[in-house]
Structure 1
Amino acid sequence: MVNLNAMGIVFPNMHDSVIPELTAHRTMASVPFASRYRLIDFVLSGMTVAGVQNIGVIVKKNYQSLLDHLGSGREWDLARKRGGLTIFPPSGDSGYGYHGRIGALKGILPYIESAKEKYVILADCDVVCDLDYAALVERHAASGAEVTIAYTKEKMTPALAKNNISLSLAPSGRVRELLINDPQTGKRNLSIGIVVLGREQLVEIVRTGYAKGLVKFEQDILAKNLDTMKVYGYEYTGYRSRIADMSSYFDANMQLLYLENLNRLFPEERPVYTKVRDEAPVRYALGCKVKNSTVADGCIIEGEIENCVIFRGVHIGKGAVVKNCVLMQNTTVAPGVRMDYVITDKDVSITEGQYLGGTKSFQVFVKKGSTV
């Protein structure tokens, strides 16, 4: 594997507020996705496949599940004597640690200063995509940009309007205007939360910004210095799913029931790695019915499922009919249950004879450890 000469810094808590139902006890980065993955898997895998060998993860709160998932970083080839995966616990006077990216980066400044890489990739975990990080860094270096922001052209939705960074670009690709929570409708150039800049430059930005009491990297630093700072956009045109609320989370999982989307997100040349669990294969009982669903290992299917995303260790009882659902790890569905448009968190039990039903635009959510 070639060293990309770039280090990565991941912000796992940065968008927790958009799906509070799923982040009450975990970070956005550790939200389960697509039967067996966590959202951070796509960031870590993309970086390591591109040759990034030094990645820091700055946690803020509710990070126990993230620590359990990442471990030493072995699954992503990040268990190294030099570099590898470094997880930074919360720092600061508040029990919840930093406020904004500047505060987060100030807390790990010695780590950034001691690194040898020329570039830094800053990444959030709310957009699932197959970004070629090597191509991004190469474009950044070739363009002469000081900062490069990866973006996609997307139609604005009500959920996105509450949480977006929009770019207005010159024909050269240089960012002329950077808007926070742009209310304009139609197609917009929306950041996917991945930024590249020079490591030494980042150190200077953090030192100066923190001394001035600045908090937000995009709003306080980039948006106010576009005239003097060379900030360019990098359009990503591959497959992506943006998690902006519970409905978009549900849709993002459901889209992967289509083979075309699955192949685009999981290309052979850029595999996605996750924590390995040695569990038995799925057990399909006689008489069960399975249609257009993804089912992870360790599951027992005795009833009927259709258009479902099923995580590890789920048990669907005999006679149960489950359609259009996302069922997370160790969910138990008793015999005779009817479910349609439901999202269950981990360790949920649905008792015999129950009916739970939502709609395509508004799904029923059952919180972690609940019995219904």
Structure 2
Amino acid sequence: MVNVNANALGIIFPNSFDGLVPELVQNRTMASVPFAGRYRMIDFTLSAMVNAGIDNVTVITKENYYSLMDHLGSGREWDLTRKRGGLNIVPPYAQARNKIYHGRVEALNSVVSFLSRQKERYVVISDCNVACNFDYAAFIDAHMASGADVSMVYERTEIPEAAKADNYTLTMNEDGRVTEILTNDYRSGEQNLAMNIYIMEREALITLIKDAMVRNLVYFERDILARNLQLLHVQGYRYDGYRARICSLQSYFDENMRLLDPANRAALFSEKKPVYTKIRDDAPTRYVQGCRVKNVLAADGCVLEGEVENCVLFRGVKIAAGAKVKNCVLMQDTVVEAGAVLDNVVTDKNVTVSADCQLISNGSPIYVGKGKKVGPRG
């Protein structure tokens, strides 16, 4: 772990953008969606914070958070098992006669008392829909140097079609100060697309949230930031590093497949800034004599006997002799039996594809839900 004093605490929202990937979040949050063979989406956000010296992190859950809690545990893998600070998982919060929070403002209001008791000067806020090896230390330094009230991270890119109904884009002056925030921008061409990473002073955040609650405001970006750009100095911070934005099943498939390129893996995973995850004691992947494997990213514990090409395989995947698997993302403990043929498929955890079954798609990937068993006729 990187040993620096960031003077910042982290807040992570695991459920943001769940609606963009309904297939993948039936039993989990966006934060706990498996990615890149052995990780979960939250691993990238949490590891980046820890690598920057942020050792006080709160995860504000909303629903479907059992798998997230199971994955994070006490935070030991991220060195967050501490007497002060460490990892704090906040369950869904509702007051009498009120439903569970609706929007980031109400969610933050549920931890205002907690924030008031903390000592760090700054608060860093992030969602979990983008996998990247973000440098929070550089972000904090840039924010301090700018003198801004709030800094927010953006990427210069075209807005994915699936994200056009749920995004924020920024307009900035020549000094990088944000002059306009657009909601659900549908324009074509490159835009300044927000990555939903923010920093501000802790006391200022508490004041903003309390004021917003009095005014019955709901959305942090739209109701607080966008409406107050004349009063608040909001600074843009451009991120040009490798990133994988998950906003649909297709993007999930595509971003996993991109990691078959060694250059992309090297850009996402760094020895100096490692990505930590829950440890599972598996044996190394076993390549049985007679198997044919080409361009495959395989995690530990796999047993490969058949033909596998252009695939991302999570822990414990088993592909029997005579099976042919191509252009697939197979999550943890998927079993492909003898004679099965898969092409352009995403399987969730604990899926069994029976012998001689054929799952082939020439368009969007086929998705097989968690724990399902698919027979020869699908």
TM range (shorter): over 0.9
2:228 aligned counterpart, secondary structure: coil
* Residue 149 of structure 1 pairs with residue 167 of structure 2: no
Partners of 2:315 and 2:252 in 1: CA distance: 18
Partners of 2:292 and 2:165 in 1: CA distance: 41
Instruction: Name which of 148, 161, 164 aligns with 2:167.
Output: 164
1:158 Cα offset (Å): 1.4
* Residue 271 of structure 1 pairs with residue 267 of structure 2: no
Instruction: Name which of 320, 323, 329 aligns with 2:323.
Output: 320
Partners of 1:97 and 1:283 in 2: CA distance: 47
1:358 Cα offset (Å): 1.6
* Residue 112 of structure 1 pairs with residue 115 of structure 2: yes
Report the counterpart of residue 56 of structure 1 in structure 2.
Answer: 58
Alignment length (residue pairs): 371
* Residue 290 of structure 1 pairs with residue 315 of structure 2: no
| Contact 1:60/1:96, CA 8 A, preserved across alignment | no
Report the counterpart of residue 181 of structure 2 in structure 1.
Answer: 178
Partners of 1:220 and 1:238 in 2: CA distance: 29
Name the CA shift for 1:281/1:112 in 2 (closer, same or farther; >3 Å): same
Partners of 1:257 and 1:66 in 2: CA distance: 26
1:71-220 correspondence to structure 2 within 5 Å = 71-93=73-95, 97-220=100-223
1:96 Cα offset (Å): 6.9
| Contact 1:163/1:244, CA 8 A, preserved across alignment | no
Partners of 1:111 and 1:95 in 2: CA distance: 20
What residue identity is the alignment partner of 2:100? G
The one-character-per-residue Cα deviations of 1:272-330 (angstroms, maximum 9, x if unpaired) are 00000111111111100111111111111110111100001111011101000000011
What residue identity is the alignment partner of 1:4? A
The one-character-per-residue Cα deviations of 1:25-62 (angstroms, maximum 9, x if unpaired) are 10000000001000000000000000001000000000
The one-character-per-residue Cα deviations of 1:317-356 (angstroms, maximum 9, x if unpaired) are 1110100000001111000011000000011110010110
Partners of 2:157 and 2:67 in 1: CA distance: 31
Partners of 2:98 and 2:75 in 1: CA distance: 26
Partners of 1:301 and 1:96 in 2: CA distance: 48
Partners of 1:124 and 1:295 in 2: CA distance: 27
What residue identity is the alignment partner of 1:3? N
1:210-289 correspondence to structure 2 within 5 Å = 210-289=213-292
What residue identity is the alignment partner of 1:31? V
Instruction: Name which of 22, 44, 64 aligns with 2:24.
Output: 22
Partners of 2:358 and 2:262 in 1: CA distance: 30
Partners of 2:360 and 2:215 in 1: CA distance: 52
1:293-304 correspondence to structure 2 within 5 Å = 293-304=296-307
* Residue 341 of structure 1 pairs with residue 308 of structure 2: no
Scaled by the length of structure 1, what TM-score is found? 0.98
Identity of matched residues, %: 51
Report the counterpart of residue 329 of structure 1 in structure 2.
Answer: 332
Report the counterpart of residue 305 of structure 1 in structure 2.
Answer: 308
RMSD of aligned residue pairs (Cα, Å)? 1.0
Partners of 1:167 and 1:272 in 2: CA distance: 29
What residue identity is the alignment partner of 2:119? K
| Contact 1:305/1:323, CA 8 A, preserved across alignment | yes
Instruction: Name which of 31, 34, 41 aligns with 1:39.
Output: 41
Instruction: Name which of 5, 8, 25 aligns with 1:6.
Output: 8
Partners of 1:249 and 1:162 in 2: CA distance: 17
| Contact 1:307/1:324, CA 8 A, preserved across alignment | yes
The one-character-per-residue Cα deviations of 1:204-223 (angstroms, maximum 9, x if unpaired) are 01111011111110011001
1:156 Cα offset (Å): 2.2
